[in-house]
Structures are given as C-alpha cells and as structure tokens.
Structure 1
Amino acid sequence: MALLAGSVGVTAAPTAHAGSDCSLPAPGRFQDATGSATLSVIAVDAQCLRTYRLVSSITGERLFRELPGTPVLRTGSAMLDGLYAMAHDDAELNKTDQVSDGSYNFGNPTPCPGGCYITGKSWTYVWTRDVSYSADLGLAAVDPARMRDTLLFKLSDRRDGSGDTQIIQDTGTGGSHPNSTDRVVWALGASEILDWLPDGERQSFATKAFDAIRNTVEYDRKVVYDPTDGLYLGEQSFLDWREQSYPAWTKDDVAPIATSRALSTNVVHWSALDAAARLASGAGDHGAAAKYRGWADSLATAIRTRFWLPRQGQFSQMLTTELDTAPVRRYDALATSLAVLTGVATADQAAQAVRNYPMTPHGPAVIWPQQQDIPAYHNNGIWPFATAYLMRAAAKVGNDGVATAQARSLVRGAALFGTNKENLNLLTGGTDTEINSDRQLWSVAGMMSMVQQSVFGVDARPDGLRVAPFVPAQLRVEHFAGSDRAVLHNLRYRGRTLNVELRFPQTSIRQGAYVVRSSTLNGRQIPAGTAITESMLGSGESTLVVQLDPPTSSTAAPVPVDTSAKEALYGPRTPAVRDVSVVDGRVRLGVDAAGEDPARVTMDVLRDGSVIAQGVPVTSTWTDGGSAGLGTDSYCYSVRLTYTSSGNTSQHAQPNCYWGPGYDRVLKVAGDGFEAVGGYRSANANGTYYANWGNAPGDRLTARIRPTVTGDYLLQADAAVGKPINTGVGGGIKLLRVVEDASGAVVTERPIAMPNTGSWSRVNHSTFVDAHLTAGREYRVELVNDRTAVNMSYFTTNAAYNDTMGGHFNYNDVFAIKALLKKATG
C-alpha cells in the first residue's frame, strides 16, 4: 500500500476570513493495488469554506462542501482536509427528526424528540451501542445536543408504570438481555457528551444520566454479575453475530454466550460504574460514589487478572462459558483499545497490547485470528470505528507506528469508497462483506476521531479541555510535509469557539511523533497539561497555538500478516471432545481434530477452566493422569488446537463433563413431576412440559429434589422459547429459587436465562445457578417471575416492538429442572 500526497501549491482565494486558510491546495491523491482516488478543492466561498470533488476509480464521483458552524481542518493536504469535511457531510445526512425500523411500529416512522442521528444509510433506527460509541469517538464534540437527544431515545422506564428508567439493550442474541449486556456502553457516550455540553444544559442531562446508569448497574449487579470471579456475563460488545466470532457449537444454543465473560463488555461495565461514581459524587451522594468506585476498582483488577495473556502480550477476547472459564488465545481490537483508553489496562499491559495487535495490509482485523469457512463481516473484517479506537490507544501509549497504520487504513477506506463505510473485507480491501452501509455513524465518528482526538489530542474532561497532540512524522510526510502548521478551526466547546493550531519545526526526521514544546492561549503561555475552562475561553473566538519540537524515538508497527497464507490468517477449526469415559480409574477423552492435520497443530487440554496439558500431540484419545479425584469431582473438559507455524489458536471445544457413571450425578425432575401454577401440561417428542406458562406474574413451577450426596451443585432448567435465536427483545428469564423444605430457608435465588431456541420444538439448557445442598434434605427448586427477572419487553420503548405491542413476552416451555453435582464435599 502506498499513500501519494500531491505537492502543496497555494493560490490565494479572492476573499479571506479571519483565522481561516482560504488557499487552494493541490489535489490529494491515494493509490494502492486495489484502486485510486483524487480529492480536489473546486471552490472556496467568501467564508473560506471549500467545496470538494472526490473521484474514485471504484465508486465514481462525489461532491460535498464544508458546512457553516462545523469544525474545519486545514493541513495543506486536500486529502486530509477533505475526508474530514466528508465525515461532517455524512453526519449531516444522518440527521433526522424521526427514525424507523421494520421491527418497530411495523416500519412506520417514530418521532425522535429534539432530533437524532440515524445509524447509517441502511440503518435508519437508533441502536444503543452504535450511537454510544459514536458519541465517545467524535460526534459529541460536533453536536453534543443532538447526541444527547439521540442517547435519550435509548432510555426507557417500565411498562407497568413503576419507573425504573434503564438503558435499553437492543434486539439481539437469544432475545437480547440478559444474554447480551453491553447496553452499559451508553454511559461511555453520555460521559463524553456531558464534557461538551454548555453549562445551562449539562446539569439536566447529568441528572437523567445518573438515574438511568444507577438503575442499570444496580439491576445488572443482581442479574449478570458473578461474585465468584468478579466479572460480568454476556456477549461481546458489537460482535453480536455469533457465528462470526464464537465457536460453531453456540449457533443453535446461546446459553453458553449468556454465561461467557467478554473483555469488551466487562470494560464497558467498568465505564458505567466509573460514570455512576462520578455522577453520584457530583450529585452529593458520597455513599453511592464510594460504592460504585469500589465496584469499578474491583472490576478493573479482575479484568487485568483474568483476561491478560502474558506470553502473548495481549488481552484475551473472552472466557467462553461457565464450564470453561479459561481465557481464549484470541483477540479483539475494540476491546483491547477500550481497556487501554479507560485505564483498565496497566501501563505495561497497554503498551504491549497495542504493540502486539496483529495488522493486515488494509488495516486491523476486528478479531484475531479469523475463523475458517465464515464469510466476511466481523470475521475477515476491518471496521473503521474500531480502527479509530486503536489509533487513539496507540496515541495514548505513544506508539507512532501503530497510529500511522490506523490512519492509513482510515484514509484508504474513506477515499476509495467515497463515504465512511460500515466495514471492509480484509482479504480484498473492498466492501464485499455480508452487510454494509454508507455513512455508518460510528465510522463517520471514527474519521472525526482520527483528527480531533488522535492527531490534535483534543480531550474534554469534567474539569476542562486538554489538548495533547500526537502527530506521527510518517503521517505528516505522507500528507502535509510542505505545510508548517495544521489548524482545527471552529471547535465548539461548551458554547465557546476554539481554534487549535499545531506549528511544526523544520526537520528531516521521518519517524517518531512530534513533541509538544509549549502552548499559548490567545497569546498567553499556559503550562503543559493545563485544563482549559470556559472562563479561560471567554465569549469570543479563542486560539490555542501548540509549538511542536522534532519527533523523538519511534516504535514500528507490526509487519502486516500475509493474508494469502492460511495458517497465518486463520485459527484451526474448532475441535470437539466427543466423549468422556473412565478407563483404569482415570478420565479418557475422545478427541476430534475437526479435520486439521495432526502434523501441523498441537493440542491444549483444559479441565474446569485450567490448562492441564499444553502443546501436546493431537491424538484421537487422551487420558487425564491427574483425574484421580473423579470420585468427588465432576470434571469438565475442553481442548483447543494451535498451528505450529503461526501460533494461531482455535476456539475452545464445547465442554464435555463427567457426570458420574450413568449420569448418576444429575438429579432431574421432568415436567410431569412439577407442581405448577399457570399454563397447562402438554407433551411432545421432547417430553412433558408446561405450555403457555411463565408470562403471568403469579406463574410458578416447583420441583422437589432430595440429594444423596452433599456438595456443590449447578441448578438448571431445560426449556424451549420459540422465538428467533438471533434477534428479539423477549428471551426467557426467571428467578430460580432453592428453598430447604423443612426450615423454609432460602439456599439461593438468582435469575436464570432461557434464551430463545428458534422453535418451540427445540429444547436447550438454561444458564446455571450455584447452590450447596446437603444429602438427605428435601429442597424445593422454584421458577418464578420476579422484578429482577425481566427482559427488555418489559420496558415502555418496546411497546412499539412488533412482537410485544400487546404486552411483555416471557413465555417458557419448561421440560425439566435439574441439579448437577459438580463437587461432592461430604
């Protein structure tokens, strides 16, 4: 790939506007093996605002102009200035007063009070994660009021009139929350908006944000937080097409996804707790502030401990499921970047994770390694918004090589395709992916972020605006070597106008990043790191001039992976543990290597979330010599494969557990043994169950069990919820309560998820609840409705969802309630 910048020629425009550059730069050009583009200034108006023509060999011609009242970039590079202007034009096209989606109100328009941003040309609704990441990346700085109103569209109280305003989890896997839990990313966007809003608007939004964030984190603490490992459960943030980034065995059974721990989702839970602590402090609720700060600190420690892979110098993408909580040796660009930018990663972890994240010739893959036999979208995909986050992370740790690589990827995608596309195919560099959209909102924000947050280093915080530029020398050489300055005009900060001017020294150094020497605000020198407040800016237009010194030491970006080499790009196919048996007093596994050549891979064996054998030869059977405790422990096994040539590792095999001879450690009460309130008994090929059950407040199912062994058990239900697996807002959820019959003591109670199964004839397992049970005592295991056991259909906003217009949906056909003995203790 090569970036070709036009030579800088200057022709004076007839009319000049104070503080602006009215010159006409030479056309900017981009070319690589996949195509070429030329970006030219074809007109300059009396206010020095330009009209651009972008001509691409792939997409043809586009005309756009700089808009009055929006920030304007002047670097001497028509390419950089123009692509930044195109991002603002794309954002303007995404503005609307009403939104629509086929799943809501039967596709009819829904008003968006105050005005919203739609998600993209092909996505004409507001989605929580998209708008939240867009706000955090760059759009909050451009139009904080519209971003505020767009985020407010994603809050809702309960349909029963009881209040409890929460952040809405969009339609998704298994019926949405609690299988997917990254709605808390809303707090990341809200925090950025609060830092940009003017004084008169900030407090009102802060009050609403605190109420919603507090209610959401308190609810999630009861439903999706695991106090055992200190992490939150739920699907990865944004990587919500499970075949793309999860093992294939989750395709038709997503309860393991609901019990997984994802790096990205845990970091955004941290962001929500951090926001709750800050907002509580601002509201004078110091007790709540201390509580949420403690929760956030504990979560940060758990993330650093559980997800970090020291040998790889990377954060793991996820811990796959409840029965196998070992971190996968697979990575996620967004999650890695968020861990760095939030400060959840330690300084050493941050530097390593940014330095080691794999690159391809066209940019960073959003996941690594890729999965075989899966089309391009998240898999084999480059997403500009994730690229922009990685550029921010690189700037934070001072890695000019990685930052430059991200900038090249962002410039290439926007220049060749004449818009800010949703994603790119990393193999072809094109837009040949499963789903794509023009002017995708978070891609638009990512282009703005490259300029505003990374290059100019503009960072709004509660106490003021900080400016810490990070300009890689390579980026300047490729685009504006002939200019002695770069200026970001008309940045609106809390109702004030600020121009930021970077002045470059004469230097021949072509590597590293420029260093800040000094800064002056309206001609007065200010110390490095000064927080610029509204009072310092005053009511007029202000200018911050940052004098830069020559670049210092450079860090090289990773050498791009050869995408034509299968084992360099992909992980091995997912293996399987076919069976678990006992031979001569030890557990023996039957292993299926999924067609991989045993000569090209090695195998790791995992037991109960720990690696017990690493890099061993792949064989059809493997005996666990350390399984002498099988008399008391119900071991659960998984395996993974690694290519010896590249180190790329497969997904983990679906866990297979030893539940005793003849499964005698599984206590099961089938549907014909239930005591039931609500619904009616029915039967099909899967057995006896209760149909039309679970939606009414008083519905209850009770199973009585009497263990013969004292120990730690996993409680679970077998159920069908016949809505689609990949969408919906009404996945099954119930409170599972275990009560000792004789004393009436509650042993445990916790919500369980019974995700959509796609058909009422398909029965899957629910998530688990832990309980310690004593031999000889009788227990009632109850499934009931409860205020904590609600899905997104219980919230007012989803009264417009087509499937739940008539009321909430929480029906579950329950076939069995089970207690699985995991470890005997007495």
Structure 2
Amino acid sequence: MKQARPAPSTRRSPRMALAIALALAAGSGQAGPASAQDGSWRDSVEWNGATARMRADGDGWRLQPGSGAAVVISPQPMRSQTASPLFDGLFALAQAELAKAQVEAISDSAYDRGKPIPCSCFETGEKWRYVWTRDLSFAADLALATLRPERTRNALRFKLSDLRAGAPQGTYVVQDTGSGGSWPISSDRVVWFLAARGLVDADASDAEAARFDEAVWHALTDTLAQDRQFVFDADMGLYRGETSFLDWREQSYPRWTADDVAFLAQSFALSTNVLHHEALRLAERMARQRGDALADDYARQAGALATQIERRFWREDRGLYMSYIGTAAHPVPFEAYDLLGLSLLIDSGIAPEARARRALANYPGLEAGSPVIWPQQPGVPIYHNRAIWPFVSAYSLRAARKLDDVARIEHEIRSILRGAALAGSNMENYELVTQAVHVEAGALSGPVVNSPRQLWSVAGYLQMVMEGVFGIARDDAVDPKIPVSLVPMLFGERERISLRLPDREVVLVRPRNLDGDLLVADATAREGGRDTVRLAARRSHRSSSTLDAAAFAPASPDAPSFVQDAGGWRIDVPARQRLYVDGALRVDASTQARAIRLPKHDAQQCASLTRVEGGIESLHSPTRCVGQDTAIAGDWPRAWRAPQAGRYALSVDFTNTHGPINTGITAAVKTLVAQCDGVDEQRGTLVMPHGAAMQRSSAVVIDVPTGAACRFTLRDGVNMSYLAHNARYTGGAGGVDGPINSADIGALHAVPVKDPVR
C-alpha cells in the first residue's frame, strides 16, 4: 500500500439502474454510440458530453482533451501509421509519458524522510514518485520489459533485498508497506517474477543480462521457500493473503475488515494464488535449464496449486471465479469477483477453456469499460470500487485475445483509448459509469486518488497498441486479432497499417473480404526486420453478460449469535439472509426468518451470515465460532495435555500496536513449535497483524495422540522489517531504528477441529 487512505463514509450511495452495453450484440457490429461501422474515432471521440480531438502537428500531434489545455505531442521513436490520428497520437503520448517516468532518483515520504534516493529506474506516476513492487511488475509484464529491458532490470533489482536480521540469509522480493503491517497479510510480492520472466534466458554474451538471470534464480528459490514456510496452507493447498492490487481492503472486502485484518491474513485470494503458480512455473523452467533437482518439486507444487485454484475458486451458479474465499476454518464462497484475478487466471492456462470462456463472457461491463470488481460495494468512495483501471483493462484484453473473444477485445481497446484521449493522459483510474477522472458525490466522491501518467496505465496503452492491435506476442511472434468493427477506424480506405519499432516493423494488410468479425493472420512474410501479415476475416466468439456492472451488493449483516440450549446451539437467521456453517451453505435466503439448531460438538463450528437483495449476495458478516476452547497461560514454553486424540487448532490472543492497521512493515510473525508425546515435532506460523484491540492470531493445526502431553515454544519468524531494503523506512516502526517482530501475547488457545475437507 502506497500511503494511508482516508476512512470511507458509511453513507450508502443510490443504486444505479443502467443497461449493460459491454458487447456488440451478436452480429450487430455496434459498440454503443461510437459505431464501429463508420469513420468515427479517427481524429475525435465524443463521450458523456465531452469531445477529444487529435490533429497532426508537423511530425507530431496536438491533442485537445475533453477538458483542460491542449497537449502537444512530439514525435517518438516508435510510430504507428493508421487511418486514425487519434490512435497514432495517443501511442506517441504513451511513449512521451514513459520517458517522463524514467528517472535517476525516486522519493516517498515514508523512505529517507522524503529525500531523493538514487535509482536509475521508473517512478510510478506523477503523484507516486517511488518504485512499488506491484505497480512496477505489472507494468513491466505488460510492456516495460520489452521496451526498456535495462532500466526494468535496474528497477526490479531495487525491489530485491537480503536480510539485516533473521535467517536464512538469501535474496528476497520486497513486499511493500500494506494492510496490517505488510507481508504475510499481503503476500503478492511474487508478482515480481511475472515481470522477471520476460527478462530471463538472456544471451549468455550479454554479461549484465546473465547476472540478472542469476539474481532472478536466487530470489525465486529464496522467496518461494519463505512463502512456502509462512504463507502456504497445506490443508487448503493454497497460499494465504490479500488480493493483488486490491489492497485498500474496505473497497472490496467486508467493511468490518477496516478494523480487523486478521481475516485477510487467513483468507485465500485468486490473483495471489495465480501469481504464486506462475512463479512456480518459472522456477521449474529455470531449474530444468540448470539441471537442478528442484525442478520436479516445483512442477509438483505448481500442478497441485493449479488443481486447488480450479477447485476452490470456481462458482458454478455465477459461472465466474471468485476473487477470494474464506479461511481454512471457514472456507466460504464470496460474491466477490475481480477482473485482474480472472484475467491472470485465463492467461496462465489454469482454467479449462470452456470455463475460461464462460467466465470472461459472464464478467460484466458498461459502455465506459470493465469494472475492476463486481458487484460494487455500498457506502464506499470511488477508487477500486466503482472504477475502471486501464492496466487491468489491458490484462482483460490479453485474456480476450487468448480466447478470441471479439467483443471483449473491442470493448477494452475502446475503453483504454477513450480514457487517455478525454483525460489527456494515461490516468491511474476512472469512475465506472462516466469514465471521468473525478465524480463529485459528497463523501463518496472519487476516484479518491488519481495520478496522471500512471506507469502501469502507460504500459497498458503501449500493450494495447503493440499486442492488442498489431499482435506482437511475448515470444515476438506476430498474431493479430483485430475486430472487423475496428477496421473503419484503423484502416479507413487504406490497404495496410504499420507499426515501426526500433528494431522491427510490423505491417498488417487488410483482406478484401470482411465476411467475419475478427481479422487474424492468414500469411506472414518476414524480410529483414519487417513482418508483413496478410489478414483474413473469420467468425469468432462473442461475449454477453447479463449482470449489471454498476449494481451494488447489499451491506453485510451482523455476525450470527450462538445461543446455547439443551445439548446444542440455536442460531437465528433473519429474513433474506443466508447462513453458512463450516464453509457450507446451511440456510438459504427466504422471506421468513428462521432459527436452526446445531448439535453441540467438542470440535469447533464456525458460522457467518450474508444478505441477499436483488439477486446479489452481500459479503460475509464476521465469522463466529464455538467449540471446546482451552486457554493455556504462563511463561513460555507452555505445557498442555490433550483431553482426547485429534486435531487441534492453536492460536494466541495478541495486541500489535507497532503501526496503523492500513500500513507498515511490522506484522508479527512467529513460529509455534509443538512437541507432543508419541509424534514428531510439529510447527506452523502465527500471524499477528497491526490493530488497536486484542485479536486472535492465525492458527496452527496439529495432530495429538490420546492423552499426549505437549510442550509449546515460540520462535521468531520473519517480517518485512528484517529486510535490509527497509533500513531506509521512516514511515513508522521497524525501519531506521531496526527490525521489530513482536506483539503483546496473551493466552494460547487449543481448540479441537474437524478433519479438513480436501
């Protein structure tokens, strides 16, 4: 997380009633008011009462955006030549903005007290002058690794670190400041390897590239080992932690996580798990190249993870993959979906083609573009909620190309282009319905933060041109997939369009026959540095969602109450609510309130409620659990004798006030070691995030024989304050004054639990 964010209002915004205009109606060739069958969008685009115009100005261009001063765009090293000055000029604008992002020093108020830090790399945006692991990595994966490999290597190296405390020594990727004190609450730092995979396997004669290759290998093996130890949940077969990119939890998680991030540390996110899968696949490939025996281990881990991702995140009733699910103790489904996670999943190849195609078709959109989350959340300012993010649209475009989804391809190209034209820059984000850079809505106004020339938005525009239109794939093959509906804009009366890069040129030749909806390569001739691709039209796939992209979910209900009665527990379920028990739906929503009874068990039982309105389910209430709970106090090591054989979840009461709940680097991470009679030593991770009140840590589950006596000790784990990189951190505890990995720890709790559902 880049900075502390303001607390959102609790006032609910009005429900929007908007017709969906994601796709072209089958065979209609229409994409909303900007008809693709005429010559619109060549030199201007009209939207929401505003008009952006582009005209040639000597060798450059002059853009008059929807509002504000004109933007003069100078000629750039790469040049597209199409029938559209708007398309060509905005490609030059993206290059100019990329040049502005190339800096020799970076700064942020949380590091070195805001003083410049030398780094020949990229700054994140006009308002974000630092290098953030997530932003840099997605931008690099989209375009920077291809266009600026040396500077991208430099920037990526800046996000590697050894340890200044703890063990084992090695090379680790930095998880930036974030929810509850950063890693392992946020655990998507492996996105770094998504960027690095485009830079490895360099020519051995390039010494600098070869050194980077070795740095990637060491960072990969060390970071994956650390995550396997502290983040992986063996019972679920998944990695724990917050969603990637969606790191302002109140925007996309239940509102109660504003004060309780322990749930984030114990839940499972689609995007974060897909990123771990991709890192494991890269590790397998690099290990095989080195003849390292680890290759088979990485292959097994990646295969097993892919199986669990497919199994755990698919929601059949929606035909979508969930953004995140609950904890190992209560692995409930959530009515929460995000476009980045879905797009990364499709690109990874994990999802079977039929499901991938169905999921992308079912993900909703509006004429302005595709929302980064669905459904929208009530009473939350515009930022991730109710928003379009161009870099996510670029990943959606990549997924659509993989599936030949012609409607989604056109939809994302138009959204990315229109946003840059009207704003006069590749902005961080836009409001969902209007595609405006700001909408005034009182306490819910937003986007709350919106930086011009945001690095990953710039990269998304470059990717849209190079890959999305001209078809330059990551393996340097040329595989265009252009909707026929874009031919009037791109080709006009021309026979061919071209893209000139520093080391090559791609020429696309239109077919005479446009009897189809997608132009694809028919024949390719390569001569010198030029690829000439003759296109052919064919029928393809069209997506059409029935979901209202701007629809709001209902507010989450209060947590369920367990009322003890003779031999069991009664739970009252209000009308239009659903009750989930131990991860499974127990009572569906109905118009009448109901009461159910759970038999009393020694094993823990966990429950949560959701509310259903308008066919949309709310995010879950807080989880409440009951069961035989033994508190073990005293000095460490602590002793305990199990009343009966079985599986026990061990957790501690704690308070961690080393930082605010929304940022920092001092989440406490400890290893609990259990030595019980008759079994080998067992161990696991206790995570204790920042928070003002006493909380319960994550749990370690152990197997205990009948009557066994157990002895428990705590050992230091590791957190981001241990990294040498964070010796510069001045935004809070654990930085310049040295590492901190501690919390005020109270009772140790032993609770019998059921066998996991595998």
TM-score, normalised on structure 1? Answer: 0.82
1:570 aligns with 2:543: no
Q: Which amino acid aligns with 2:753?
A: K
Which of 26, 30, 35 aligns to 2:50? It is 35
Which of 433, 438, 452 aligns to 1:438? It is 452
Q: Which amino acid aligns with 1:719?
A: F
Q: Which amino acid aligns with 2:144?
A: L
- Whether contact under 8 Å (1:173, 1:179) holds in the other structure is yes
Which of 68, 74, 79 aligns to 2:86? It is 79
Distance 2:738 2:601 in 1: 49
Instruction: Note the alpha carbon deviations across 1:309-337, whole angstroms, 9 max, x for none.
Output: 12321101111223321221321100000
Matches within 5 A, 1:553-632: 553-558=540-545, 561=548, 563=550, 569-583=551-565, 585-591=567-573, 598=575, 602-617=576-591, 619=593, 621-624=594-597, 627-628=598-599, 630-632=600-602
Distance 1:308 1:513 in 2: 29
Larger mean CA deviation between 193-202 and 220-229 belongs to 193-202
- Whether contact under 8 Å (2:42, 2:489) holds in the other structure is no
For residue 381 of structure 1, report the CA deviation from its aligned partner.
1.2
Instruction: Note the alpha carbon deviations across 1:733-791, whole angstroms, 9 max, x for none.
Output: 11111223x67x6542112110011x4xx211111110223454432222222xxx100
1:652 aligns with 2:620: yes
Q: Between Structure 1 and Structure 2, how many residues are aligned?
A: 711
Partner of 2:530: 543
For residue 811 of structure 1, report the CA deviation from its aligned partner.
2.3
- Whether contact under 8 Å (1:638, 1:656) holds in the other structure is yes
Partner of 2:176: 170
Distance 2:639 2:328 in 1: 25
User: CA 1:84 to 1:764, structure 2 compared with 1: closer, same or farther past 3 Å?
Assistant: same
For residue 27 of structure 1, report the CA deviation from its aligned partner.
6.4
For residue 352 of structure 1, report the CA deviation from its aligned partner.
0.9
1:808 aligns with 2:739: yes
Partner of 2:358: 352
1:386 aligns with 2:398: no
For residue 92 of structure 1, report the CA deviation from its aligned partner.
0.5
Which of 447, 469, 473 aligns to 1:459? It is 473
- Whether contact under 8 Å (1:101, 1:108) holds in the other structure is yes
Instruction: Note the alpha carbon deviations across 1:37-96, whole angstroms, 9 max, x for none.
Output: 00111112xxxxxx111102323311122323xx22111211111111111111111110
- Whether contact under 8 Å (1:718, 1:765) holds in the other structure is yes
Q: Which amino acid aligns with 1:727?
A: T
- Whether contact under 8 Å (1:53, 1:64) holds in the other structure is yes
Partner of 1:52: 61
Partner of 1:135: 140
- Whether contact under 8 Å (2:682, 2:702) holds in the other structure is yes
Matches within 5 A, 1:62-101: 62-68=71-77, 71-101=78-108
- Whether contact under 8 Å (1:515, 1:552) holds in the other structure is no
Partner of 2:243: 236
Matches within 5 A, 1:375-774: 375-432=381-438, 433-461=447-475, 465-491=476-502, 497-509=503-515, 512-522=517-527, 542-558=529-545, 561=548, 563=550, 569-583=551-565, 585-591=567-573, 598=575, 602-617=576-591, 619=593, 621-624=594-597, 627-628=598-599, 630-643=600-613, 645=614, 647-659=615-627, 665-669=628-632, 673-675=633-635, 701-722=636-657, 723-740=659-676, 747-757=681-691, 759=692, 762-774=693-705
- Whether contact under 8 Å (1:145, 1:197) holds in the other structure is no
Gaps of 5+ in 1: 9-24, 45-50, 492-496, 523-540, 564-568, 593-597, 660-664, 676-700
Instruction: Note the alpha carbon deviations across 1:198-220, whole angstroms, 9 max, x for none.
Output: 96143222111011011100111
- Whether contact under 8 Å (2:413, 2:468) holds in the other structure is no
Distance 2:257 2:143 in 1: 35
Instruction: Note the alpha carbon deviations across 1:507-551, whole angstroms, 9 max, x for none.
Output: 455x621132111101xxxxxxxxxxxxxxxxxx51001100124
Matches within 5 A, 1:772-783: 772-774=703-705, 776-783=707-714
Distance 1:198 1:67 in 2: 31
- Whether contact under 8 Å (1:206, 1:279) holds in the other structure is no
Runs (4+) off by over 6 Å: 4-8, 195-198
Distance 1:26 1:707 in 2: 72
Q: Which amino acid aligns with 1:581?
A: V
TM-score, normalised on structure 2? Answer: 0.90
Distance 1:197 1:244 in 2: 44
User: CA 1:749 to 1:54, structure 2 compared with 1: closer, same or farther past 3 Å?
Assistant: same
Give RMSD over aligned pairs: 2.3
Distance 1:233 1:132 in 2: 20
2:189 is paired with a residue of what secondary structure? helix
Distance 2:601 2:213 in 1: 56
For residue 639 of structure 1, report the CA deviation from its aligned partner.
2.2
1:2 aligns with 2:41: no
Gaps of 5+ in 2: 1-31, 439-446
Instruction: Note the alpha carbon deviations across 1:680-718, whole angstroms, 9 max, x for none.
Output: xxxxxxxxxxxxxxxxxxxxx333223324332211111
Distance 2:144 2:197 in 1: 13
- Whether contact under 8 Å (1:604, 1:640) holds in the other structure is yes
Instruction: Note the alpha carbon deviations across 1:127-148, whole angstroms, 9 max, x for none.
Output: 0011110011112221111111
Distance 1:555 1:219 in 2: 43
Distance 2:305 2:755 in 1: 30
2:666 is paired with a residue of what secondary structure? coil
- Whether contact under 8 Å (1:579, 1:590) holds in the other structure is yes
Distance 2:470 2:94 in 1: 16
Q: Is the strand fraction higher in 1 or 2?
A: 1
Partner of 1:795: 723
Q: Which amino acid aligns with 1:790?
A: V
2:588 is paired with a residue of what secondary structure? strand
Instruction: Note the alpha carbon deviations across 1:393-450, whole angstroms, 9 max, x for none.
Output: 0111000001111111111110000101101111332122111101110011111111
1:174 is paired with a residue of what secondary structure? coil
Instruction: Note the alpha carbon deviations across 1:458-507, whole angstroms, 9 max, x for none.
Output: 1233xxx222111111222344333222211125xxxxx11111110124
User: Highest relative contact order (Cα 8 Å, sep 6+), 1 or 2?
Assistant: 2
2:578 is paired with a residue of what secondary structure? strand
- Whether contact under 8 Å (1:4, 1:478) holds in the other structure is no
Distance 2:411 2:201 in 1: 29
User: CA 1:710 to 1:805, structure 2 compared with 1: closer, same or farther past 3 Å?
Assistant: same
For residue 362 of structure 1, report the CA deviation from its aligned partner.
1.3
For residue 554 of structure 1, report the CA deviation from its aligned partner.
4.8
For residue 278 of structure 1, report the CA deviation from its aligned partner.
1.0
- Whether contact under 8 Å (2:50, 2:66) holds in the other structure is yes
Distance 1:806 1:657 in 2: 39
Matches within 5 A, 1:358-377: 358-377=364-383
Partner of 1:281: 288
Partner of 2:442: none
1:321 is paired with a residue of what secondary structure? coil
1:277 is paired with a residue of what secondary structure? helix
- Whether contact under 8 Å (1:5, 1:480) holds in the other structure is no
- Whether contact under 8 Å (1:141, 1:196) holds in the other structure is no
Instruction: Note the alpha carbon deviations across 1:243-299, whole angstroms, 9 max, x for none.
Output: 1111122211111100110000000000110111111122221x1111111111111
Partner of 1:680: none
1:467 is paired with a residue of what secondary structure? coil
